[in-house]
Amino acid sequence: MSYNSFGRVFRFTTWGESHGPALGAVVDGCPPGIALSETDIQPFLDARRPGQSRFTTQRREPDQVRILSGVFDGRTTGTPISLMIENVDQRSKDYSEVAKAYRPGHADYAYDAKYGFRDYRGGGRSSARETAARVAAGAVARQLVSEVTITAWVEAIGGDAIDPANFDAQEIGNNPFFCPDAAAAQRWEKLVDDARKAGSSLGAVVACEATGLPAGWGAPLYAKLDSELAAACMSINAVKGVEIGDGFAAAAASGEANADPMRPGNDGPVFLANHAGGIAGGISTGQPLTLRVAFKPTSSILTPVETVTRDGEATEIATRGRHDPCVGIRGVPVVEAMVALVLADQKLLHRAQCG
Amino acid sequence: MSYNSFGRVFRFTTWGESHGPALGAVVDGCPPGIALSETDIQPFLDARRPGQSRFTTQRREPDQVRILSGVFDGRTTGTPISLMIENVDQRSKDYSEVAKAYRPGHADYAYDAKYGFRDYRGGGRSSARETAARVAAGAVARQLVSEVTITAWVEAIGGDAIDPANFDAQEIGNNPFFCPDAAAAQRWEKLVDDARKAGSSLGAVVACEATGLPAGWGAPLYAKLDSELAAACMSINAVKGVEIGDGFAAAAASGEANADPMRPGNDGPVFLANHAGGIAGGISTGQPLTLRVAFKPTSSILTPVETVTRDGEATEIATRGRHDPCVGIRGVPVVEAMVALVLADQKLLHRAQCG
Amino acid sequence: MSYNSFGRVFRFTTWGESHGPALGAVVDGCPPGIALSETDIQPFLDARRPGQSRFTTQRREPDQVRILSGVFDGRTTGTPISLMIENVDQRSKDYSEVAKAYRPGHADYAYDAKYGFRDYRGGGRSSARETAARVAAGAVARQLVSEVTITAWVEAIGGDAIDPANFDAQEIGNNPFFCPDAAAAQRWEKLVDDARKAGSSLGAVVACEATGLPAGWGAPLYAKLDSELAAACMSINAVKGVEIGDGFAAAAASGEANADPMRPGNDGPVFLANHAGGIAGGISTGQPLTLRVAFKPTSSILTPVETVTRDGEATEIATRGRHDPCVGIRGVPVVEAMVALVLADQKLLHRAQCG
Amino acid sequence: MSYNSFGRVFRFTTWGESHGPALGAVVDGCPPGIALSETDIQPFLDARRPGQSRFTTQRREPDQVRILSGVFDGRTTGTPISLMIENVDQRSKDYSEVAKAYRPGHADYAYDAKYGFRDYRGGGRSSARETAARVAAGAVARQLVSEVTITAWVEAIGGDAIDPANFDAQEIGNNPFFCPDAAAAQRWEKLVDDARKAGSSLGAVVACEATGLPAGWGAPLYAKLDSELAAACMSINAVKGVEIGDGFAAAAASGEANADPMRPGNDGPVFLANHAGGIAGGISTGQPLTLRVAFKPTSSILTPVETVTRDGEATEIATRGRHDPCVGIRGVPVVEAMVALVLADQKLLHRAQCG
């Protein structure tokens, strides 16, 4: 089924296709009285905006957001906030090949198998262009959880990881890769450029940390904070894995190595380690929330790949046209947005039950 | 907030604590006319049942399930199915230490931070004992998706992985580790035994494959099949990571290496690879569904760990008492159950929208 | 579809059939720290309990509730509260007639048309016996909205209404009809007795008032307080109409006659009338909440009525056996419970969004 | 809380204020392959459109709908359908009085009590202008339940009811009152005109019938067809009561008088009466669905009414400006839309569970 809403109390619904007139989000359940204008949202859209360097798709979209409802005199009213972004650069091109043959790794075949029918222009609803609506909604969420600082970055591209010793949060905004390690950013320039020129693509790992959230947010058992984060991140295009804290590394550890001892502190316990990534029993502990998200390489490559047509004939397809050589890069603001959206919802859920 | 339901059309709600009189699940939205009796459910509970080998907790629970509603003349009626399992072996012991001090890695502190109060007996609601209710509900789901074969196994314990070349599905039931590699099972015997005797614990990776599901199940964008699976698995106690298909390995791959080419087949396309794990665009492709789940080591260890008391005093705690040295092992039937529950829901959702 | 849950943050799910071993409710989302024991619930079940006078069904059920989870040391823990009531007096009788022929006015035919199959023993899931589970859940809700006083009563039976001038809330508990007018109660004794002896049945109007709730509860637009109350009351067996405030009388009034003027008061505005029934724009105004609910006459009557069999043959049916001659009477505690459940949910929803 | 979505599988979310730039709806879960264009929606908006006679508000809105997503090549794709209607005639006027004083009967005070803040221009979110979005969404629902014919009409204005003997469905479109009785329509002309000229207002009863739906739609117990219809209708501005079938009249009837006997027919049972309004046990019986909805008189009247200001001062207010003298009239297409939306959802829910 199509299910385009997320959240339980702070909820959002997105709509729109890659090549339709516009796309947008409706944010419902937002508390009243929160300062909000387009200028609070635009910077996050700008961070995700395509066409800003040669390392992302060359589609040129201004991604200007408009607030159509839910705000009065510069503050949220508590009623639904409708956000709209017009599509400007839907290049009119010949879609006959993509209409006919399924691009491997893309949603083409799966959508046809499900719906018997699809909007094939630029990937339609399954295009990563939809994530602009998430980022806009996420900016509203950030206003609501302003006590939390959410920072994501690219940790590895094509298997080439940053050196944790070089980590510098200030560096993230200094390069087109959201890379906190200046040396790695330099290496990635060549890495991604080579892939781009070769018509190839690369996977990436995005890491995210959220600090400032209190202990106690979360909703055992089936809306656990980690469960909601996993759902949120896995719903992003091209994502194939999610880890909280040490993630898969914890599976190789002993209980002693994985322990997060506590000592008394002024504001509740001080933790001596954070293998858990800030969540225990599905509830925040007050430590930094840490997670990692695996993005597969963009499925659009120039190398011809065997495939089938809608009519079941054998063929080959090479995906020309505009796309990101490493879709994980622009995944950074999207991961941040999804984390913000989950935290906003959990904050309100916690307030509902625990006052 | 407490949120103990899962699913959208095929839904279940679980209840119960480790040391209460009973625990259970209510399954709602199940189609009518499906054959169901306690004997359809019991084998799955038996697989998860504790106390069957020295490698799991020694708590002795018969875990006999009773169907209290929703079944008439051996078939489901379409009304809610109430399943109850009585707790039998809640050992009366002294809980004063655990009531007073927070066990690191456990939900103790987080629950107190959230609720200001907790049932500390055996972990209360945060005990893995709750997963018995999931397994019971999962058995109902299996009846509904009987066209799908769901098989999970332990792929690695404490970092010691099976050899894929040795994979033999028949072997899974032949050892207490749900291990498909006889050689690895033998190694793990000593590995887990050593950990148990040392009062230590080990993490594990559980893998799962589901075959037989058709192309077209899934619900873009925020109830994608992979997103729902991630939420479901991440909601299991001790889980810290979820991968679909190649998962994090895909993040290190190139687009060419990650491609799943297709050729014409008799029943839709035949795929030449399955890096995607059977899901594209959040929708099943008809290939086998593959996923991996990371379980952290049990947080209960005999080595004293620094911690704090409810009153904020420094102390140390060593967790004696009955528990699994490797909680991932008994996670196998739980992962299977969660996958079955997600697939049952997605099957009905697909039918709702696409007839 | 079967959908046996209600509520958004404070949610409950009921299960069970008329002639199964038990029925129950799971209440989820209840705040922690609220005093709760069986003795807080039992009085409400006792008020609804059958067999207490000759004016209700003669089925003898003790309706003893057990709390199976979610309470520790006499207080709610914030985790799901499982409530169970065993069925004791499922009289073993011959159901062959009811299995074969559809009782007009009952859910028999509709259930068969939907599910192709039904538990025909005592009405199965569609029996008003299910309302015991609602009343138990409602008692939990009352603990949460203890600032609100909820009182329901029977306003009319078979068209014979109370005289508002005689209204005396103390009287409600003094007669088997929940009637606040002693004179009417006396008339109804003969009225209901005559119907009972004739094997006939009577409809009733139940009125309900809730005082003490603050202004501001409600959830525009599709979870408005009045919309939720309407859904809640219309979900009760045999209910065919719901009014808020003046209801249908308002449809015959002019704007001047229907106005609720306000004057300044110490605690917000003082209203000079309450045609609106305490709700404006879907949100409580702080005035008393007033509503009325129409119960149809019990469909079980001794007069033979034309009907058809499962096989499509013409036949007649007269419903013998135990049932209420006026099902609206025992609807009183059920309406109160549903109002409490809606208010508990709205209280938490309000807290979520508006702090 | 703000909750602006409705439906479980076929869901819609509305957004927008009376005086914002636009309002709209997002319809999610609609099956793929259904023919849909603006011309399928516009006629229903035109029926509800203001300013078409002197009996409705003189605000002039073209109410042109745009489909922004979810439709490709003239058919729904199964992805969310975004519908937008621009506001054109938001008259710039002086709102200082309404910003300051609470209009009795309006949502002004309740919104302020809830949110501490409101968009007072033209009633903001609580304006009946929002129902345009419902009507647009309802037009999509109608495409999905095209086997059902849904017809609503005004049954009474200000207590002056139609004569059932004069009922002529053809007449409904022939007068500005959606009145099926030509004689009543003539009387109402003077009635409403007098009220309009006097600055007064009138309540109305809207009746609705849906034919062609099969037996078996509905979702016991808490999403019963009647419960959903009650919630849907009670969520419409100014509605204070809902009846299914005989409604409150059934409460005054005996079981014999209220029986709906059945006889064998070619397509399932033939019913000899329809007191139940086509629903038994919350499930459709295949008979015509009948319901009645009570609209209170518009609260905006010229007669000054005592009220209070935001600052708690006593004052009087008379509501000038554009509004409907009888808001129930334009409620007719809104009731039809809500019934269509409920039926579309229930159709898909039924298909989900019962195939």
Residue D92: predicted pLDDT: 62
Instruction: Give chain A positions within 8 Å (CB) of D69.
Output: 15-17, 20, 22-23, 125
The confidence score (pLDDT) of residue C236 equals 98
Query: Across residues C327-343, what is the average pLDDT?
Result: 97
Q: Residues 21 to 40 of C: which have CB under 8 A from any B CB?
A: 21-24, 26, 28-30, 32-33
Q: Is B302 in the A-facing interface, judged by CB distances under 8 Å? A: no
Q: What pLDDT band is residue B1 in, cutting at 50, 70 and 90?
A: low
Amino acid of residue C235: S
In which element (H, E) is residue C229 found? helix C225-234
**Could you report the average pLDDT of every consecutive run of 10 residues in chain D (355 residues)?**
90 96 98 98 92 78 95 97 92 78 95 93 92 98 98 98 98 96 98 95 98 96 97 98 98 97 93 98 98 96 95 92 87 98 98 94
Query: Among residues of chain C, what percentage have pLDDT more than 70?
Result: 98
Q: What string of H, E and C letters represents the secondary structure of C109-170? A: HHHHHHHCCCCCHHHHHHCHHHHHHHHHHHHHHHHHCCCCEEEEEEEEECCEECCHHHCCHH
Cα–Cα distance measured from residue A176 to residue B56, given in angstroms and rounded to the nearest whole number: 50
Contact C290, C208 (CB under 8 A): yes
**Contact residues for A29 (Cβ-Cβ < 8 A; gap 6+):** A7, A9, A10, A11, A348, C352, C353, D1, D2, D3
Return the bridge partners of A280, or none: A283
Give the type of residue at C148: V
Known binding residue A299? Answer is yes
Which SS3 state, helix, strand or coil, does residue A183 take? helix
Residue from B26, B27, B83 whose CB has the most chain C CBs within 10 Å, to mutate? B26
Mean predicted lDDT score pLDDT of chain C: 95
Show the tokens assigned to D221.
Answer: 């117990």
- The verdict on D18 touching C (C-beta cutoff 8 Å) is no
Q: What is the pLDDT of residue D58?
A: 75
Contact partners for chain D, using 3 or more CB pairs closer than 8 A, are: A, B, C
> CB within 8 A of B221, min separation 6: which ones?
A3, A4, A14, A125, A130, A235, B282
**Using 50, 70 and 90 to split pLDDT, how confident is the model at C195?**
very high
Give the whole-angstrom CA distance, residue A137 versus residue A83.
8
A353: contact with C, CB 8 A cutoff? yes
So what's the pLDDT on residue A92? 62
pLDDT tens across C202-219, in order?
A: 999 999 999 999 999 998
Tokens representing C296 are 């149809």
Q: Which residues 6+ apart lie within 8 Å of A77 measured at CB? A: A32, A70, A71, D115, D117, D118, D119, D124, D125
* Residue from B199, B221, B209, B355 nearest B291 by CA: B209
> SS3 letters for B322-338?
CCCCCCCCCHHHHHHHH
- DSSP string for residues in C316-350: EE---SS--S-TTTTHHHHHHHHHHHHHHHHHHHH
What is the Cα–Cα distance from A272 to A279, expressed in whole angstroms? 14
Q: What residues of A are in contact with residue D2 (Cβ under 8 Å)? A: 28-30, 78-80
Percent share of chain C, pLDDT over 90? 88
Cis peptide before B202 (omega within 30 of 0): no
Q: What is the Cα–Cα distance from C20 to B77, expressed in whole angstroms?
A: 13
d(CA B296, CA D81): 43
Contact B69 C20 (CB under 8 A): yes
Residue that wins the pLDDT comparison between B1 and C34: C34
Tokens of C228: 């939720």
Chain D positions in Cβ-Cβ contact with residue A72 (cut-off 8 Å): 17, 117-119, 124
Helix or strand run (H / E) with residue A264: none
The whole-number pLDDT of residue C1 equals: 58
Q: Do B353 and D29 touch (CB under 8 A)?
A: yes
pLDDT of C61 strictly over 90: no
**Per CATH, the architecture of D5-354 is what?**
4-Layer Sandwich (3.60)
Given a cut of 70, the residues of chain A with pLDDT beneath it are: 1, 91-92
The mean predicted confidence, pLDDT, of chain B is 95
Q: What is the pLDDT of residues C343-354, one digit of tens each?
A: 999 999 999 999
Q: What pLDDT score was predicted for residue B61?
A: 85
- pLDDT band, residue C95 (cuts 50/70/90): confident
Q: Which of A138-147, B155-164, C126-135, C313-322 is predicted least confidently? A: C313-322
What lies within 8 Å, CB to CB, of D124 at 6+ separation is A72, A77, A79, D17, D18, D19, D111, D118
Q: Contact, C354 vs A29, CB < 8 A? A: no
Instruction: Spell out the domain ranges in chain B.
Output: 5-354
Q: Which of A14, A28, A116 sits opposite D32 (nearest CB)?
A: A116
* Residue C293 clears pLDDT 90, i.e. is over it: yes
D42 to chain A, any CB pair closer than 8 A? The answer is no
Residue D89's pLDDT is what?
80
Using pLDDT thresholds of 50, 70 and 90, give the confidence band for residue C172: very high
Strand stretches in B92-157, DSSP E: 149-157
Q: What pLDDT shows up at residue B98?
A: 83
* Per-window interface: C 109-168 vs D, CB < 8 A: 109-111, 113-116, 125-126, 130, 156, 158-159
pLDDT band at C54 (very low <50, low <70, confident <90, very high): confident
Identity of the amino acid at B314: A
Mutation for D interface: C119, C254, C316, most D CBs within 10 A: C254
The 10 Å Cβ neighbour count of residue D265 is 12
The pLDDT, as a whole number, for residue B323 is 78
* Separation in Å, CA of A64 to nearest CA in chain B: 23
Dist CA C182 CA C175 (whole Å) = 8
Q: Judging by beta carbons within 10 Å of its beta carbon (0-12, 13-18, 19+), is residue C266 exposed, middle or buried?
A: exposed
Q: Are B28 and C4 an interchain contact pair (Cβ–Cβ within 8 Å)?
A: yes
pLDDT digits (tens, 9 = 90+) for D2-29: 799 999 999 999 999 999 999 999 999 9
Model-level pTM? 0.97
Interface contact flag, C220 A349, Cβ < 8 Å = no
pLDDT value at C268 more than 90: no
d(CA B222, CA A137): 14
Compute the 3-state secondary structure of chain A and give helix, strand, coil in percent, each to the nearest 5.
30, 25, 45
The token duo for A342 is 């989950």
Q: Of C322, C1, C346, which is closest to residue C147 (Cα–Cα)?
A: C346
A300 is in an annotated binding site: yes
Chain D nearest-CA residue for C349 = D1
CA distance D191 to chain A (A): 37
H or E segment to which residue A307 belongs: strand A305-308
- Please tell me whether A238 is known to bind a ligand: yes
Interchain proximity C254–D295, CB inside 8 Å: no
Q: What is the Rg, in whole angstroms, of the alpha carbon atoms belonging to chain D?
A: 21
Interface of C with A in 44-83 (CB under 8 A): 78-79
* Span of B155-169, C75-89, D3-17, D79-93 with lowest mean pLDDT: D79-93
